[in-house]
């Protein structure tokens, strides 16, 4: 994202009472992530594991904590909460109300192929691309900067590019994280009714070619879904999770955030995926239905399993 003005680190230091490590006259006019940086841009890092990525970037400077700052070669803005300062810088230039979605006119920058079909009451933001022979059913919302490929079908009630559930604490108050990324949808993708795909926080949420998504699915910010993967209804995928190619995910399953599911994984319905899956195959979790009286007894015994296991181990 390009900011409304060019900043120097000296200006940021003065305005937000921060220390600078390195050249305070360095300037920036973009915000970016460390994984997709631009020239003259600033990013933030909270995790020392991310330091190794900085040498591969085009960043002018970075925001981080005092503990991490000494390990970084480029100029650094030191702040106890790097993401919070990053958000404040973005909010000086970003307002959701700038979108054409709040007016009755189509943005002239949109690129919508003449063969695409747009249903009534659909709302399309600015800088949106829709490819050949795509069908957007009535009452669909497509937010700013979304890129939709050829032969895509989006059923009624779907929302493409909504803000993700990004919050950060400032003292005791939750602060909304502005989402300035977008959604990129490949060719031959189908998206079911009332499915929501959040845009990336900074970069893109990516739905690759020939992905099929059922009704009432939630795809959170910065998720990546590989080619030919099919996802049944009521699945929830938390932020920054990546799913490989040729996967299937059964209805009602939930996937934790910041994990990776490799190619050719088949997840049964109602499965709870809490960690990365590194090998192809079939996966399931949960218990099957049974009479309530039996379930209560088994649940009570389940709570005793750890104590029983320790007792047996001592006897062995």
Catalytic residues: 221
HEC string for the chain: CEEEEEEEHHHHHHHHCCEEECCCCCEEEEECECCECCCCEEEECCCHHHHHHHCCCCCCEEEECHHHHCCCCCCEEECCCHHHHHHHHHHCCCCHHHCHHHCCCCCCCCEECCCCEECCCCEECCCCEECCCCEECCCCEECCCCEECCCCEECCCCEEEECCCCEEEECCEEEECCCCCEEEECCCCEECCCCEEECCCCCEEEECCCCEECCCCEECCCCEECCCCEECCCCEECCCCEECCCCEECCCCEECCCCEECCCEEECCCCEECCCECCCEEECCCCCCCCHHHHHHHHHHHCCHHHHHHHHHHHC
Which residues lie below 8 Å from residue 191, measured CB to CB, with a gap of 6+?
A: 152, 153, 154, 155, 158, 160, 185, 197, 207, 213
The residue behind tokens 């499965």 is 271
Rounded Cα–Cα distance for residues 156 and 30 (Å): 36
Closest CA to 184 of 34, 31, 36, 4: 36
For residue 171, CA distances in Å to 103, 137, 174, 201, 250 come to 36, 44, 8, 22, 40
């Amino acid at each position: 994202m390009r900011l409304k003005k060019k900043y120097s680190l000296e200006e940021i230091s003065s305005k937000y009472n921060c220390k600078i490590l390195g050249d305070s006259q360095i300037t920036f006019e973009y915000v970016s992530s460390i994984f997709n940086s631009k020239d003259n841009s600033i990013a933030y890092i909270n995790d020392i594991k991310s330091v190794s990525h900085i040498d591969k970037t085009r960043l002018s400077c970075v925001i981080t904590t005092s503990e991490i700052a000494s390990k970084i070669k480029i100029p650094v803005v030191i702040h106890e909460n790097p993401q919070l300062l990053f958000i404040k810088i973005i909010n000086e230039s970003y307002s959701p109300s700038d979108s054409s979605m709040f007016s009755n006119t189509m943005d002239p920058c949109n690129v919508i192929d003449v063969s695409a079909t747009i249903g009534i009451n659909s709302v399309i933001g600015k800088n949106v691309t829709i490819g050949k022979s795509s069908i957007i059913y009535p009452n669909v919302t497509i937010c700013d900067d979304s890129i939709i490929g050829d032969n895509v079908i989006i059923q009624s009630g779907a929302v493409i590019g909504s803000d993700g559930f990004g919050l950060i604490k400032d003292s005791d108050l939750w602060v909304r994280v502005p989402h300035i990324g977008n959604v990129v949808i490949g060719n031959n993708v189908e998206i079911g009714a009332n499915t929501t795909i959040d845009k990336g926080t900074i970069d893109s949420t990516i739905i690759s070619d020939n992905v099929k998504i059922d009704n009432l699915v939630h795809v959170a910010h910065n998720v990546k879904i590989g080619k030919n993967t099919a996802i049944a209804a009521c699945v929830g995928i938390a932020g920054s999770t990546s799913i490989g190619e040729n996967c299937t995910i059964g209805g009602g399953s939930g996937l934790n955030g910041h994990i990776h599911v490799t190619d050719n994984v088949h997840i049964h319905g109602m499965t709870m995926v809490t960690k990365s899956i590194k090998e192809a195959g079939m996966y399931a979790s949960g218990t099957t239905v049974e009479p309530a009286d039996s379930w209560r007894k088994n649940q009570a015994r389940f709570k005793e399993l750890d104590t029983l296991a320790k007792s047996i181990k001592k006897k062995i």
